[in-house]
Amino acid sequence: MKYYFRILILFTLISSSLFSNDEIASKELYLEYNSFPQRVFTGQKFDIELKALILKDTNSYDKIVTTFTRENNIEILTQDIVWIKNKSSEYTTTVSYKVYNDDFILPKITLALSKDEEIIDFISIESPQIQYEKIAVNQKLFSKIIAKNLEIFTVKTKQYNNNILHTTINLKATNGNLEDFILNAYGEDQGIDSLSDMYPIQNLYYYVMIPRHTKQIKFTYYNTDSKDFVTMTIPIILDEELVSTQTELNPYNSSILIYKQVLSGVLLLVFILLFAFKRTNIYLIFITIFIVILAYLFIPNKKILLKENIKVYILPTNNSTVFKSLESKQIVEIVNENEEFIKVLFNNQSIGWIKKNDI
């Protein structure tokens, strides 16, 4: 339906210009820019506010229609224009744009009133002149973000391999362009994990692969309120979650094992009671099975002595990260094993893999 009105308004404007030498101006409609920025930058999102004065009787129309024409190198972010009535005849609305380069043209805006899908009156307004400026030219730390506000919520850094760290940054921006975010100083292996865009609020999860020796990540963004560049610094703190979460894989200490032990014990008790009341030999078979299961579940892990300088890996692969090398001899429990590696449990409840050949 909105495309129908746009075509209808365009046709009306063309017809009016063809059959009249004088500029047509409504005497009951007035439209003006209430606010707009004086200058904008590449990739910036910005708002303009329009004010309309509608002197017609409200019963004479049933819809206010807004159309845009002649825009260039600019994106109209506001899809549905909603006019808010402030006074008896005064209405305002906000339109959001994103500019791409210096030869952008703001669209010409037309406001029309319709009754039963017929245009009864309209008025157009030309675009204001807004200066364009390139920003942060050749500044390597500039993240391309232009925002009213930018916050860093969470940062998680995990070891990817022996030389590379994987860092995930959670950012929140107001009136910003987080879809353009980039860390130019940190290589090409980076990108967007997810982006929630409920303009003017955006929430971004961004990953970047950085060298292991990196101590901090620095970048800048342009703050439209302070009209200045703001430097953001993120300290890199290695999260050992990848190692510590493997503790739950220990079948001797995990909550899953406890559930198995409790369930097996309960079932054993049930079959003992059934045998006591019914004296049926079939229950003796189940009692024997669950006694064996419980005995297996309560067998402690085998322990071995590891010599010093043995490397402990996160995963049982040759390319896995070495997260520590033993400084002294340690007694550990064997949790699991495959052809080349043994999973071991340390006294501090951390889990790791060692090569069988190193024992």
Task: For 267-278, write each residue's pLDDT tens digit.
Answer: 888 888 888 888
Q: Tell me which DSSP letter residue 170 carries.
A: E
Q: Assess whether the region 2-133 and the region 243-358 belong to the same CATH fold.
A: no
Select the CATH number that applies to the domain covering 2-133 from these four: 2.70.70.10, 2.40.50.140, 2.60.40.10, 1.10.8.100.
Answer: 2.60.40.10
Confidence of residue 136 (pLDDT cuts 50, 70, 90): confident
Residues 212-253 pLDDT 10s = 899 999 999 999 999 999 999 999 988 754 434 344 444 444
Q: What is the token pair recorded at 201?
A: 């609020």
pLDDT of residue 296: 77
Q: How many helices (H) and strands (E) does the chain have?
A: 4, 23
DSSP annotation string for 24-65: P--SSEEEEEEE--SEEETT-EEEEEEEEEE-S-GGG-SEEE
Q: What is the pLDDT of residues 45-78, one digit of tens each?
A: 999 999 999 999 989 999 999 999 888 889 999 9
Nearest to 66 by CA among 129, 127, 1, 5: 5
DSSP 270: H
pLDDT value, residue 72: 85
Mean pLDDT of 311-339: 77
pLDDT of residue 99: 92
- Tokens 């075509």 belong to residue: 7
Global confidence as pTM:
0.59
Instruction: Please provide the CATH number assigned to the domain covering 142-239.
Output: 2.60.40
Cα distances from 233 to residues 56, 183, 184, 196, 239, in angstroms, run: 56, 12, 14, 23, 18
Sign of CA dihedral 121, 126, 128, 131: positive
Of residues 38 and 249, the one with the higher pLDDT is 38
What average pLDDT does the segment 89-112 reach?
91
Overall residue count recorded for the chain in this entry: 359
| Residue 14 in this model has a pLDDT that exceeds 80 | no
Identify the pLDDT of residue 94.
95
Q: Per DSSP, which regions of 70-200 are E strands?
A: 74-76, 84-85, 90-99, 108-115, 118-125, 131-133, 142-147, 149-159, 164-174, 190-198
- Alpha carbon distance 43, 142 (integer Å): 13
Look at phi and psi of residue 327 and say left if phi exceeds 0, alpha if psi is from -120 to 50, else beta: alpha
Instruction: Beginning with the edge strand found earlier in the chain, give each strand of the sheet holding 149-159 in spatial order.
Output: 149-159, 164-174, 201-211, 190-198
Q: What are the residue ranges spanned by the domains of the chain?
A: 2-133, 142-239, 243-358
Give the architecture-level CATH label for domain 243-358.
Answer: Roll (2.30)
